[in-house]
Structure 1
Amino acid sequence: MPQIPNITLNDGRTIPQLGYGVFKVAPAETERAVSEALETGYRHIDTAAIYGNEEGVGAAIAASGIPRDELFVTTKLWNDRHDGDEPDAAIAESLEKLGLDRVDLYLVHWPTPAKDNYVHAWEKLIGIRERGLATSIGVSNFLVPHLEKIVAATGVVPVVDQIELHPAHQQRTVTEWAAAHDIRIEAWGPLGQGKYDLFGVPVVAEAASAHGVTPAQAVIRWHLQKGHIVFPKSVRRERLQENIDVLGFTLTDAELAAIDALDHTDGSGRVSSHPDEVN
């Protein structure tokens, strides 16, 4: 099995740097896909309540025979569960679907700033962690003002911020703030979700050719060397194998810098909705 590197979080826990994400994996396909990912060597699985496939993730975990302490499982609190005791009900529902007594990481999925209740949601996650239902807690799609607000209100710094991040959209304002506060960055949509032909960009193609790998492998390797936690998604076994087979080469400083230069610094590289507009 590949020796996937671990990253230490600000609470002292560790997380596998390369995992498998099940965003947009159909519920009917999830158990098979996650089972194949586990067989391939993945031990970090990222799901969310809104994906509708937590049951499939749980079924694959149960069937795998892999000891629980060798797995890292993430799920997320959806936007309509921020109020009152809804976060407590939501984590209970997720754990039941996953067949687990705890998750390794629980995230606030979006800040939904128009509702302006993400501080309350974060306070509830702190309680969820204290009760042992989540080992670590973090956020997703939070920009610097959202991060500043929850830290100022609670004194508790998230262990991760899971954001859209790929060579065309590197979110440097967020990543620099996170680095200054010891928050790890998780990159979703790490290959640009098909909006950008990253694989046809000369600097990516040249780096891939130089190392005898595919352009997708070169981009995943760029993420790993940048220190991002990354979980590319695929439902094809051969692609699962390709995505994890990125540990046997190292991009040069010049190759890293060339891929860094692909950033649309005006924000036009964003594929998803802006976090201030998701409500």
Structure 2
Amino acid sequence: MPRLGLGTWPMRGAEGQRAVESALAMGYRHIDTAEMYGNESEVGAAVAASGVPRGELFVATKVWWDHLTPSGIRAACEASLARLRLQHADLYYIHWPSPDMDLDAALGALARLKEDGLARAVGVCNFPPGLLRRALGTGAPIACVQVEHHVYLSQERLLAVTRPAGIPLVSYSPTAKAAGEADPVLQGIARKHGRTPTQVALAWLLGEDGVAAIPKAASEANQRANLEAASLRLDDEDRRAIAGLPKNRRLVDPDFAPEWDA
């Protein structure tokens, strides 16, 4: 899995397809989507038009939280693949846990998708540390965890689970929706390196052990800036300054979200 990918929420329609085509032409190879995003058809069309060999692509998609029965997961995956025009997903996630889901049954359904070749790997999104430990304890082949993670939201408790297990953590909203552009700490680090505060925020994540990131970027300029952030190396002084920023600013917290401290 490439450590830097393209997040596609909420890009739809012709604009969304153009954005994915632009990213693929620029060298992105990790594309993240979901059935809930309503853009899998656009992603599939962009992939088909790109000419990039399938073996070079890493396409991830997700099943929504109200489809977490074994039959629902299977049907959702097959529908996603049809929209994506793909024979398999490289990574297929549970998008959000459901309070009333049968965890063993849901994870078993994911495992069968992998066994049957519909997904090369399976994972979970938005699982707090306790629920992730339970999931790993079932023996399910969880290959990845995706959660909100950025300079203003720590995921150290979750990383304490993923790192020993050898499971990458994929960060969504990794630039905190460009909030760092107005942050004096990130502005200072950016001036020091001749970069932007958003690039600094992304570089901080990509410099973390076991962490990948999928920033959404619709314009070519932002896509290129995010790629360039991958080459920025922050020093110890930079990291100490970023460590001092507040780490409890959650941007994505819907009514159906799990108890994050669980």
Q: TM-score, normalised by structure 2?
A: 0.93
Report the Cα distance in structure 1 between the residues aligned to 2:42 and 2:171, rounded to whole angstroms: 23
- Structure 2 residue aligned with 1:222, among 204, 217, 233? 204
Report the Cα distance in structure 2 between the residues aligned to 1:233 and 1:208, rounded to whole angstroms: 20
- Structure 1 residue aligned with 2:11, among 20, 25, 49? 25
Gaps of 5+ in 1: 1-14
Identify the residue that residue 199 of structure 1 maps to in structure 2: 181
Gaps of 5+ in 2: none
Q: 1:277 to 1:143 in 2, by over 3 A?
A: closer
Report the Cα distance in structure 2 between the residues aligned to 1:225 and 1:148, rounded to whole angstroms: 25
Report the Cα distance in structure 1 between the residues aligned to 2:180 and 2:225, rounded to whole angstroms: 17
1:270 equivalenced with 2:256 (yes/no): no
Could you tell me whether the CA contact under 8 Å between 1:119 and 1:149 is conserved in 2?
Answer: no
Aligned pairs, how many?
257
Query: How many Å apart are 1:253 and its aligned residue?
Result: 1.5
**SS, match of residue 229 in structure 2:** coil
Query: How many Å apart are 1:44 and its aligned residue?
Result: 0.6
Report the Cα distance in structure 2 between the residues aligned to 1:277 and 1:249, rounded to whole angstroms: 35
**SS, match of residue 168 in structure 1:** coil
Counterpart of 1:132 in structure 2: which amino acid? G
1:1-279, aligned counterparts within 5 Å?
Answer: 15-112=1-98, 114-153=99-138, 155-193=139-177, 197-227=179-209, 228-264=211-247, 267=248, 269-273=249-253, 275-276=257-258
Report the Cα distance in structure 2 between the residues aligned to 1:119 and 1:208, rounded to whole angstroms: 46
Report the Cα distance in structure 2 between the residues aligned to 1:87 and 1:97, rounded to whole angstroms: 15
Report the Cα distance in structure 2 between the residues aligned to 1:28 and 1:65, rounded to whole angstroms: 18
Query: How many Å apart are 1:28 and its aligned residue?
Result: 3.5
Q: What's the RMSD between the two structures over aligned residues?
A: 1.6
Could you tell me whether the CA contact under 8 Å between 1:27 and 1:52 is conserved in 2?
Answer: no
Task: Give CA-to-partner distance per residue, 1:80-130, whole Å, 9 cap, x none.
Answer: 111141111111100000000001100111112x21323322110000001
**SS, match of residue 124 in structure 2:** strand
Moved more, 226-235 or 269-278: 269-278
Could you tell me whether the CA contact under 8 Å between 2:69 and 2:101 is conserved in 1?
Answer: no
Could you tell me whether the CA contact under 8 Å between 1:58 and 1:99 is conserved in 2?
Answer: yes
Report the Cα distance in structure 2 between the residues aligned to 1:118 and 1:259, rounded to whole angstroms: 36
Could you tell me whether the CA contact under 8 Å between 1:157 and 1:183 is conserved in 2?
Answer: no
**SS, match of residue 202 in structure 2:** helix
Deviating 4+ runs (over 4 angstroms): none
Query: How many Å apart are 1:152 and its aligned residue?
Result: 2.1
Query: How many Å apart are 1:234 and its aligned residue?
Result: 1.6
Counterpart of 2:200 in structure 1: which amino acid? A
Query: How many Å apart are 1:157 and its aligned residue?
Result: 4.7
**SS, match of residue 169 in structure 1:** coil
Counterpart of 2:252 in structure 1: which amino acid? S
Moved more, 227-236 or 216-225: 227-236
**SS, match of residue 160 in structure 1:** strand
Report the Cα distance in structure 2 between the residues aligned to 1:119 and 1:271, rounded to whole angstroms: 29
Could you tell me whether the CA contact under 8 Å between 1:175 and 1:185 is conserved in 2?
Answer: yes
Query: How many Å apart are 1:260 and its aligned residue?
Result: 2.2
Query: How many Å apart are 1:140 and its aligned residue?
Result: 0.4
Moved more, 50-59 or 200-209: 200-209
Report the Cα distance in structure 2 between the residues aligned to 1:87 and 1:72, rounded to whole angstroms: 20
Q: TM-score, normalised by structure 1?
A: 0.88
Query: How many Å apart are 1:202 and its aligned residue?
Result: 2.3
